[in-house]
Amino acid sequence: MLQATPLTEGWILRHPDDPAEVLPAEVPGCVHTDLLAAGLIPDPFLGLGEKEAAWVGRREWTYETDLRAASAHERTDLVFDGLDTVAEILLDGRVLGRVRNMHRSYRFDVTGLSGRLAVRFASAYAEAEAVRERLGERPAAYAEPYQYVRKMACSFGWDWGPTLVTAGIWRPVRLEHWSTARIARVRPLVTVDGDTGVVELSVDVERARGEAPLVLEAAVGGVRAREEVDGARGTVRLRVPDAALWWPRGYGGQPLYEVELTLLRGDEVLDLWRRRVGFRTVELDTSADAHGTGFTLVVNGERLFARGVNWIPDDVFPSRITRERYRRRLAQAAGAGVDLVRVWGGGIYESEDFYDACDELGLLVWQDFPFACAAYPEEQPLRGEVEAEARENVVRLMPHPSLALWNGNNENLWGFRDWDWERRLAGDSWGEGYYLGLLPRVVAELDPTRPYTAGSPWSGSWDHHPNDPAHGTHHSWEVWNRADYADYRRSVPRFVAEFGWQAPPAYATLRRALPGEELAPDSPGMLHHQKADDGNGKLERGLARHFAVPEGDFDRWHYLTQLNQARAVAAGIEHWRSHWPVCAGTVVWQLNDCWPVTSWAAIDGDGREKPLYHELKRLYADRLLTLRARDGGLELAAVNQSARRWSGTLVLRRMSVQGVLLGETSVRLAAGARAVARIGVPGDLVPAGPEEFLVADADRLRALYFPVPDREVPYVPPEFDVALAPGGITVTARTLVRDLLLQADRLDPGARADRGLVTLLPGERVTIGISGWKTPDAEHARSALYCVEPLR
């Protein structure tokens, strides 16, 4: 039987400026992490350390170890699951091969060989610049040459990420010893036929020698089947009666079935392949209707409003991301009510650990092919690499029931139309042949069980603008860049695949990342950890539309910008969810960060949850109340995404900011399953001026409506009492306390609060759970509480 020997020990890294200087190397890993471990570069996440590590990506590096491939088997292969990115592989000076793609695996026959194994990495910059010289300049959103090399684009920096261009053996490497034959590839087509689950395994077999009779035996769900191998290929089909369906979270369970495939010669087991699958159907409804062209995911016949987040690589050094870290981050997403995670095209095809966690947690995966924000040449050497990586990764990820959608690229079709690319390209290739030709052909051939869309945003054809909100997917960035977040309410896109608002990370994250710095919005470290073009200017202008921008008070600025982020995202999601089924999904930019930075993330680079994260729990819950202006009055939308009808009593109260009840009524609330109910607010309950607001309560859910921005509201000074409670604190309001927030990490860097922003009316109380707080003290807790205050 095939035997695998991991090659994790004994690696060294040779410094390019002094080949005699040798560093211990960790494999899997990368040059940056090895240099960091050796103390040769500062931590690039701290202070201005990124600048001091910039030279690393411009150098050549060599990994070495001793290789002994001797075995009793007929064949030994050296297998690299991932090499980042441009490398020459040598054994005792003999070239085994050359590679130029981070997104592929590689296999070399080393039968009977031994000696010194060397992996020589060229600079990704040098490769990209050489390809650019050969194929010609192409436009991009950033000046770095990321579109000329098949590598994680955000290694070259982004508007939320550092420029740390990596090199290294970033995924596992091993020796595989085998005889007679091995399983080279398994392409599992998993479908549903009535109540029966169907698994069809198309198997490629590699033979060491001869044409010995071989048999494939497969088992799943108690069903077994055997088929002979015809030459180098075989197919096994299994039907599982009464198969339990896999559902996204919130719609049902996530039963997984283990498939075991065995390659046999007689009774001898030659190789074994195991994966888990789930039985479900997934479709994408892009039919035209009275509102334009839809974009609705349909799973097992159930039409979904997708509650999504965009995912970037969780570390700029992806070899550091463990199975546990994937699970922790994705569990945070599920805990916020998320049911779809979009793997963004400037990153990578993630590891099996990522998709395993999504399978288990019921998180649908929208998978971008790795193209983002640039015109990509379609000539060699890139075209062949693109097809090879697509074919490998489509088949690799096919077993996962969570994988719901393949997407050709991020923003490149839009860029061609709107970012002056067409004129600058003057007829040169730019990627259209990938997105509208090569990639849909590969998906249709290899994975016909899943839908494909050419890009995000994309209207479905060139008959409409690529980012037309009435057709297909839409990216809403005009608001963050130029307008107030209230403008989200001006349109109802069919599917909002990107939108978001920035805020700084948690206070403890800033203190760790910027040690010793006197924090200010424009202090050196803060500016360095703000990568967006005019990011602080946009933060300040967005804040000024709603609050008085605090001068010289960093703590207040920090709280208000985090509050504004949560408010902005809430404005969009509440509006768009209330327009289901015309709008069929929102995908917030973004869930996570890859380092400590001011960004659009809900979870910062140290894994701490911003107020936005907790706000998503409310916004993405099955049931949501929202109040909005309509036709000169007010309307309440009761969004019910649960499978049960929502019936109850809605209480509407018109209040003054002084806490006086000015009017009240109760009305019947009735919203069908997966539906939205709309209730008009009686005219006498509509706030009559800036000192009044409306409160709507039903089934412990609340919606608030203030008719003017906070800077125009004559708030009274907030008063509240704080007392210790088991596992946390209780806050009791004596006045209106709007958007109270406990920043638990100010109590202890390891402390976490179980909730975010909460508004209390006079006499109301809330208990906030706190974990990781070592020395509970009520007055200490008060110092970490923030809320909206009267205009100073």
- Which of the residues are catalytic? 411
Q: Which helix (H) or strand (E) holds 432?
A: helix 432-433
Report in angstroms the alpha-carbon separations of 364 from 243, 307, 330, 431, 540: 20, 10, 11, 27, 35
Compute the half-sphere exposure of residue 518: CA atoms within 13 Å on the CB side of its CA. Answer: 2
C-alpha–C-alpha distance, residues 393 and 426, integer Å: 33
C-alpha–C-alpha distance, residues 661 and 168, integer Å: 65
C-alpha–C-alpha distance, residues 252 and 365, integer Å: 17
C-alpha–C-alpha distance, residues 156 and 162, integer Å: 7
C-alpha–C-alpha distance, residues 583 and 21, integer Å: 59
**697 bridge partner residues:** 651, 702
Which residues, 6+ apart, have CB-to-CB distance to 170 below 8 Å?
28, 29, 30, 82, 83, 84, 102, 318, 319
**424 bridge partner residues:** none
Among 732, 733, 768, 730, residue whose Cα is nearest residue 751: 768
Among 289, 306, 308, residue whose Cα is nearest residue 674: 306
C-alpha–C-alpha distance, residues 87 and 95, integer Å: 11
Q: Convert 379-415 into a string of H (helix), E (strand) and C (coil).
A: CCCHHHHHHHHHHHHHHHHCCCCCEEEEECCECHHHH
What is the phi/psi pair of residue 641, to 5°?
A: -95, 5
Q: Which helix (H) or strand (E) holds 217?
A: strand 215-220
Give SS3 for 371.
coil
Give SS3 for 443.
helix
Q: Which helix (H) or strand (E) holds 126?
A: helix 124-135
Joined tokens for residue 643:
């499978």
Joined tokens for residue 593:
């960060």
Joined tokens for residue 742:
């406990």
Which residues, 6+ apart, have CB-to-CB distance to 713 below 8 Å?
657, 690, 691, 693, 706
Q: How many CB atoms lie within 10 A of CB 591?
A: 28
Q: For strand 233-240 and strand 452-453, is the pairing parallel, antiparallel, or unpaired?
A: unpaired
CB 190 within 8 A of CB 275: no
What is the phi/psi pair of residue 94, to 5°?
A: -85, 130
DSSP codes, 551-603: SS-HHHHHHHHHHHHHHHHHHHHHHHHTTTTTS-EEEES-S--SSS-SBS-SB
Report in angstroms the alpha-carbon separations of 686 from 124, 421, 689, 692, 699: 61, 49, 9, 9, 22
Joined tokens for residue 211:
């044409």
Q: What is the DSSP letter of 29?
A: -
Q: Identity (one letter) of the amino acid at 745?
A: D
